[in-house]
Chains A and B, each alone.
Chain A
Amino acid sequence: MKVLAAMSGGVDSAVAAARAVEAGHDVVGVHLALSRMPGTLRTGSRGCCTIEDSRDAWRACDVLGIPYYVWDFSERFKEDVVEDFVAEYAAGRTPNPCMRCNERIKFAALLEKALALGFDAVCTGHYAKVIEDADGNRELHRAADWAKDQSYVLGVLTHEQLKHSLFPLADTPSKAEVRAEAERRGLSVANKPDSHDICFIPDGDTRGWLSERIEMADGEILDHEGNVVGTHPGATAFTVGQRKGLRLGRPAPDGKPRFVLEIRPKDNTVVVGPQELLAVDVLRGIKVSWAGLPIAAAGSGEEFACMVQVRAHGDPVPARARVQAGADGRPELAVSLVEPLRGVAPGQTMVLYQGTRVLGQATIDSARSAAWRGAAG
């Protein structure tokens, strides 16, 4: 089939494209230009859209003998990912921009353009597996290498999107193997460092970056009993679970470190407290989607057992989940965790698994515990 290989300039997407070529597909490499003013060179492991990355992607395509193009998604990326990221923080939530990019750019804007231009699928270097059943229905599963598994950030893909997705690294036992394969294939990116952090915040200083985009005002820091324990330069730059940078003059009475429990953008307040109060066991999720066909219980509203993962590199925990109608008539996901989790922030994505299979996901709207419900209720 005709395959568009999304080439970041990194080793994973280069090897993924190589495997797609080897599998006999008709492959074209496309680098996504996500910034109107890309940096010239990479600095360490940060960023993923520099001119150097574009050149690395181009070079990989040369070696693979496939055409290479740069497609401009900078405008869409700015609206759907960057501005969404700022808006979420401004509303006191903690978003995952990589998931948003997968949802709206790589497997929406890019996929749509690819389909229009005659491609059948988009191929990426994600570590995740798509399985097709006898009826041609697709399921998303964890990669063979759980340490590198990226099914979490793909949990947002719908059945429609999965039907046009190709993840050739699915069964790779390890990243080391991918690097060795890149070396064997003569790909110069074999030893290029992995990219981390948020690509559009080049120096990695998320708070500094946000403070230039969100109006910040000094506000109070309260403890979990409502006492003022300090001040902050702007509530929205904080994240639930955060410990560092609180600058509290007075230590807690018990001498233990305090963590951000809640952010209240409306009254510009940050609530802090001891670590045990971070533990939550009741999650409510909105913007629900199913990675493939929904399981039967999703339609019937019955409770089902699953594993829940709330961050890209977090262990899944056992839970019971149920689909219910939300206030706006849209489905919501009510989840109760068997064991409480710490540091769960509204805006984060919870991905539901059964075994290796990704069932679907929802954006966490509220996270509560029986022990402490927060002053705002």
Chain B
Amino acid sequence: MPANTPVYLDHAATTPLSAAALAVMTRELARTGNPSSLHGAGRRAHMVVEEARETLAAAAGAHSSEVIFTSGGTEADNLAVKGLYWARNAADPRRRRILCSTVEHHAVLDTVEWLEAHQGAEAVWIPVDADGRLDLDVLGAEIARDPGSVALVAAMWANNEVGTVQPVAEAVALASAHGIPVHSDAVQAFTSVPVDFAASGLATMAVSGHKIGGPVGIGALFVGREVALAPLLHGGGHERALRSGTLNAAAAAAFARAAHDAAAALATESERLARLRDRLVAGVARAVPEAVLNGPDDAGHTGTRLPGNAHFTFPGCEGDSLLFMLDMMGIASSTGSACTAGVPRPSHVLLAMGRDEETARGSQRFTLGHTSGDSDVDALVAALPQAYARARKAGMAGHESSIRTAGTGFIS
């Protein structure tokens, strides 16, 4: 039976635009002016963009000159990884190695693989532990082995699938001792856990608008003032000549407003979400005792896991069957990994955490956000037993059908 109100438990995919951001966005969309133009309309638009830049910088502990607006998190990650590699490699051709965690988002992972395939880079994959946490010993050893050959280190701030918060400060400490820049994808972490760009010592950091209550189509890369980066997009020389293209004033303003509000509410909202998440984890354990939580349990809310993230393996069932059953019952969830090519692949994050393929395929992610409440969690807990029973009956993809046919059994 479909629920009367849809239950949205996929805030990590995208979270609703905040009312304040929507108001800013519509106000600015109704106005004309290219922020680069010198006339009155341009000056007004310029004012909007620069205020947004300052607001966003303040929310992330950065200087406004360190904000490079992009089309989103994916572009920010691409600009950082390619831009750092090209600039560092151009300065010293020995710098070919990219030390990268195995649990990065595809925007980083596939970019590193592309640099390896086409630009002469050498990818060095840094493993994670069973909770998805970066192995600092391996990272340290790989840097120490030959610091002069490292172009950059990439380590995300918090994982998008299982919510594990990474030891970014420790990674930066290891790298900066040798002057090696570190890029961090903070798309999921920003405004969920405390993020301070200046204090982090990162060279670059990617964030995205629609994950924090801002609009889709805007993101930013924070680029340290001393950091040399080669651009992806050439043209009018906008954004420190690192990202050409007319600035999206309305989206930048809405993004900044959402960032400001979310950062201001972080302390109370993260504790509220962590409690709600604990309630969800306990409820799932009651509803389906076989379910296994993936990633840190975040006991005592010490910041080891994103407060709004819960990720489980449901043994013996296919993640997409469970997603389907929950969707039919009006509950939106995710298998945790993107499936753009049509065929769902087992999550590279869970495989990196040492799970086997079947475990990885039977996973489901529930993520909470600013519109989530107790009723959402209760609806999930109520729906899960039936959804799981049916999904389990449907079994794992690839198993042989028990329907007897001419080719498989005696038919009479």
Contact = CB atoms under 8 A, between A and B. Distances in A.
**Co-assembled chains A and B:** yes
Given A35-B343, A76-B400, A112-B402, 10 more contacts: A67-B327, A71-B320, A108-B401, A108-B405, A116-B395, A117-B390, A118-B390, A156-B407, A287-B406, A289-B405
Of A103, A116, A161, A288, which is in contact with the most chain B CB atoms at under 10 Å from its CB? A116
Contacts of B391: 116-117
Going nearest first, the 4 A-B pairs with the smallest beta carbon separation are: A75-B398, A289-B406, A116-B394, A108-B401
A257 to B, nearest CB: 35
Interface in B384-407: 390-391, 393-395, 397-407
B343 A36 contact: yes
Nearest to B389: A116
Contacts of A74: 343
Interface in A50-100: 51, 54, 67, 69-76, 100
A331 B342 contact: no
B397 A71 contact: yes
Of B343, B391, B395, which is in contact with the most chain A CB atoms at under 10 Å from its CB? B343
A271 to B, nearest CB: 28
B342 A33 contact: yes
A156 B342 contact: no
Given A67-B327, A330-B410, A72 B397 contact: yes
Nearest to A323: B412
Contacts of A67: 327-328
Nearest to A103: B405
Contacts of B327: 67
Interface string B311-337: 000000000110011011000000000
B411 interface: yes
A156 B397 contact: no
B401 A76 contact: yes
Nearest to A113: B394
B299 interface: no
A54 B412 CA distance: 37
A96 to B, nearest CB: 12
A290 B320 contact: no
Interface in B257-283: none
Given A108-B403, A112-B401, A113-B395, A290 B411 contact: yes
Interface residues of B, number: 31
Interface string B348-381: 0000000000000000000000000000000000
- Contact residue range for chain A? 35 or more
B341 interface: yes
Contacts of B405: 103-104, 107-108, 156, 158, 161, 289
Given A117-B324, A117-B390, A287 B407 contact: yes
B344 interface: yes
A288 B406 contact: yes
24 contacts: A33-B344, A54-B342, A67-B328, A70-B339, A70-B342, A70-B344, A71-B320, A72-B343, A72-B344, A73-B397, A75-B397, A107-B403, A108-B403, A113-B321, A116-B394, A117-B325, A117-B390, A117-B391, A118-B390, A158-B404, A161-B405, A331-B412, A361-B406, A363-B406
Contacts of A22: none
Nearest to A31: B342
Nearest to A75: B398
B103 to A, nearest CB: 22
Interface in A167-202: none
A161 B403 CA distance: 8
Of B327, B391, B395, B412, which is in contact with the most chain A CB atoms at under 10 Å from its CB? B412
A374 interface: no
A232 to B, nearest CB: 30
Nearest to A30: B324
A160 interface: yes
Nearest to B339: A70
A104 B402 CA distance: 10
A305 to B, nearest CB: 22
A331 B409 CA distance: 12
Contacts of B390: 116-118
B393 A116 contact: yes
A107 B320 CA distance: 20
A31 to B, nearest CB: 7
A294 B398 CA distance: 31
A109 interface: yes
A123 interface: no
Of B344, B398, B404, B408, which is in contact with the most chain A CB atoms at under 10 Å from its CB? B398
A38 B343 contact: yes
Contacts of A288: 406, 411
Nearest to A109: B401
A111 interface: yes
B411 A289 contact: yes
B398 A69 contact: no
B290 to A, nearest CB: 17
Contacts of B343: 33, 35-36, 38, 70, 72, 74
Contacts of B324: 69, 117
Nearest to A55: B342
